[in-house]
Structure 1
Amino acid sequence: MEVDANQTVATIATTLPGAAALFRRHGISFCCGGSDSIASAAEAAGLSSEVLVGELQGLVAAASAEAPDGTIDLIHHLRTRYHDTHRAELISLIPLAAKIERVHGDHPDAPIGLVNLLERIQSDLHSHMHREELMLFPLMERGDHQALSRSIEQMRYEHDVEAQHLAELEHVTGGFHLPEGACNSWRALYTGAKKFADDLVQHMHLENEVLFSRFTGETA
């Protein structure tokens, strides 16, 4: 994966692990300013675009470091570290978001619409991960390259949809910024939602850039 200054902030934030946190540290928004190029965002933040691209490129190598060498081991890692974790976390995040919307709905910083968004993410991911586990991963474990091309293309398209959801999640929560005096439930919600978002970016990166590349002949 190569980062260049013409790519948009939102694209990098939702596909490169660690990029969202880096942008936040520099005061760069990828929800409201997500359509800005990295070069434009760097200039607005008083940074050199070369420096910002260099920092982002430094994240690329680290992003794939956790990937096991063996394909079967990588698939097992994706199932247990990400698929199972996403399912469990969404089950707890959705009622917590509902509580915050119900109790603090009149607060100007309340994440109105977060429940609906998380439910959409849950529905999409349930279908996506189920098809990976039922069809895609078994084909990969058997090394059946010929049958994989269309399935991988579809999975990558669905990852793009989830990237859009991640940008929406950043927007609804205001970059997971807690208002002064936020209750413990609100804090737990944003801590959990940010961790979920970071995990999902890492998950999709490992599939797009590492696992899928092993079957498409691309350079990981």
Structure 2
Amino acid sequence: MSLTYLDRSLGDLACSIPGATRIFHGYKLDFCCGGQKSLREAAARKGIDAEAVAAQLAALQENGSDAQDWRAVPDEKLIAHILERYHERHRDQLPELIRLAARVEHVHGDRSDCPNGLAEHLRTMQQELESHMQKEEQVLFPMLLNGFGPRAGGPISVMRFEHDQHGDALEHLLELTNQITPPPGACNTWQALYRGLDELRNDLMQHIHLENNILFVQALNPQESSHG
């Protein structure tokens, strides 16, 4: 059964198997911006055993998961979840991460493994995310909640483009931080920073996944939505 997953896209698998995103996080497979790639293709690019990933997905589906299937809820519930769980959370996360990054750079900036430039990169991410979230809150989400989803192709295409930019920003974050891996002997602040960065990355990828692969798809194709 697991072999049937190999040629399905990461986005499709993330939607159809609750809990799959946790497995993808573990392998650093991009199921949000890169969600159109098949499991086989994405694993090959990372040098990962695709069949091993597929076997884990099959076991997850066979054993069941208590994770929410967001395709099965009304748009207003999904949007409320995105606003509360991700928009508010990102606004809480980034100021503290910027503070921690600035501290690490100030104290350890002369070390070759110090993520110099990280604080500035996080400030740029914060500004771009805030602008993006305001567009969703003020323009796109009201359109969807008022039943204008099929006419929202323009705003949705802009949001998808900006999601790709967020994905690029996450890739640069990984480059700056050695894949968010603190060096041996890293101080408590450094370790706390990287724990927070890992959480931010996971949250932002899940946020983009819910929008790209579920909310936007259902908005543009309401007749295919499971909740009408």
Would you call these one fold, judging by a TM-score over 0.5?
yes
Detail structure 1 runs of 4+ shifted over 3 Å in the superposition: 2-8, 16-21, 52-62
> Which of 166, 169, 173 is the aligned partner of 1:169?
173
> Which of 125, 129, 134 is the aligned partner of 1:130?
134
**Percentage of matched positions with identical amino acids:** 35
Match of 1:149 in 2: 153
Match of 1:27 in 2: none
Higher helix fraction: Structure 1 or Structure 2? 2
When residues 139 and 37 of structure 1 are mapped into structure 2, their CA distance, relative to the original with a 3 A threshold, is closer
| Deviation of the 1:107 alpha carbon | 1.4
2:113 counterpart of 1:109: yes
Tell me how far apart the structure 2 counterparts of residues 132 and 57 of structure 1 sit (CA, whole Å).
35
TM-score (norm 1): 0.77
When residues 57 and 203 of structure 1 are mapped into structure 2, their CA distance, relative to the original with a 3 A threshold, is farther
Match of 1:99 in 2: 103
Q: Conserved in 1, the CA contact under 8 Å of 2:97 and 2:197?
A: yes
Tell me how far apart the structure 2 counterparts of residues 167 and 59 of structure 1 sit (CA, whole Å).
28
When residues 107 and 3 of structure 1 are mapped into structure 2, their CA distance, relative to the original with a 3 A threshold, is farther
Q: Conserved in 1, the CA contact under 8 Å of 2:6 and 2:51?
A: no
- Equivalent pairs counted in the alignment come to 198
Q: Which runs of 5+ in 2 are unaligned?
A: 15-19, 29-40
| Deviation of the 1:37 alpha carbon | 5.1
When residues 138 and 37 of structure 1 are mapped into structure 2, their CA distance, relative to the original with a 3 A threshold, is closer
> Which of 72, 86, 89 is the aligned partner of 1:85?
89
Two-structure CA RMSD over aligned residues (Å)? 3.1
TM-score (norm 2): 0.75
SS in 1 for 2:149: coil
> Which of 43, 61, 65 is the aligned partner of 2:68?
65
Q: Conserved in 2, the CA contact under 8 Å of 1:5 and 1:37?
A: no
Q: Conserved in 1, the CA contact under 8 Å of 2:86 and 2:204?
A: yes
| Deviation of the 1:123 alpha carbon | 0.8
2:51 counterpart of 1:50: yes
Tell me how far apart the structure 1 counterparts of residues 160 and 58 of structure 2 sit (CA, whole Å).
22
Which amino acid counterpart does residue 46 of structure 2 have in structure 1?
A
| Deviation of the 1:39 alpha carbon | 2.0
